[in-house]
C-alpha cells in the first residue's frame, strides 16, 4: 500500500506508533503483574 498525503488517516503517525507500542508491550506486561497481585485465581499462569 502506497502512502497518499491527500488521504486522511484516523490517527497521526506518531500517536499510532505510541499506541501500537503500548498495546503490544505495556498492556500485556501490566496485565501480567495485575493478575499476579490477585490472591484468588491462582490458576493464572505465573
Each residue of 4-37: pLDDT tens digit? 777 777 777 788 888 888 889 988 898 888 878 8
For residue 42, pLDDT beyond 80: no
The residues near 44 (Cβ < 8 Å, ≥ 6 apart) are: 35, 36, 38
For residue 33, give its domain range: 13-39
User: Is 2 part of any domain?
Assistant: no
For residue 38, pLDDT beyond 70: yes
User: Is 5 part of any domain?
Assistant: no
Count up the domains in the chain and report the number: 1
User: Is 35 part of any domain?
Assistant: yes
pLDDT of residue 45: 64
**Taking the alpha carbons of 20, 21, 22, 25 in that order, is the dihedral positive or negative?**
positive
User: Is 4 part of any domain?
Assistant: no
User: Is 7 part of any domain?
Assistant: no
Verdict on whether the full-model pTM lies above 0.85: no
pLDDT of residue 35: 79
User: Is 6 part of any domain?
Assistant: no
When pLDDT is cut at 50, 70 and 90, the band that residue 39 belongs to is low
Amino acid at each position: 500500500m502506497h502512502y497518499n498525503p491527500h488521504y486522511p488517516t484516523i490517527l497521526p503517525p506518531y500517536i499510532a506508533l505510541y499506541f501500537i507500542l503500548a498495546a503490544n508491550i505495556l498492556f500485556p506486561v501490566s496485565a501480567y503483574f495485575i493478575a499476579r497481585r490477585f490472591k484468588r485465581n491462582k490458576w493464572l499462569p505465573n
